[in-house]
């Protein structure tokens, strides 16, 4: 697979992190919710609890 036509530029400064590319990108909601998320979602424990409680039963 020849990917030589594609490029990516990553810039990181104390105030900003930026990724630019020519691949067409990803939808903003996916980027915000999944791709560039830092930390756990607010409902993480609520979603995890049924898994933990059923494993200990």
pLDDT, one tens digit per residue, over 16-55 is: 989 899 988 888 888 877 777 777 777 777 776 665 555 5
Between CA 16 and CA 44 the distance in angstroms is: 27
Cβ neighbours for 6, distance < 8 A, ≥ 6 positions apart: 21, 22, 23
Q: Structure pTM?
A: 0.47
Specify the pLDDT at position 15. Answer: 93
Return the structure tokens found at 43: 């409902």
């Amino acid at each position: 697979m020849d990917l030589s036509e594609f490029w990516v530029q990553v810039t990181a400064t104390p105030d900003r992190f930026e990724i630019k590319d020519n691949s067409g990108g990803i939808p903003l909601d996916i980027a915000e919710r999944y791709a560039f998320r830092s930390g756990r979602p607010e409902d993480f424990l609520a979603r995890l609890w049924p898994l933990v409680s059923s494993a200990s039963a």
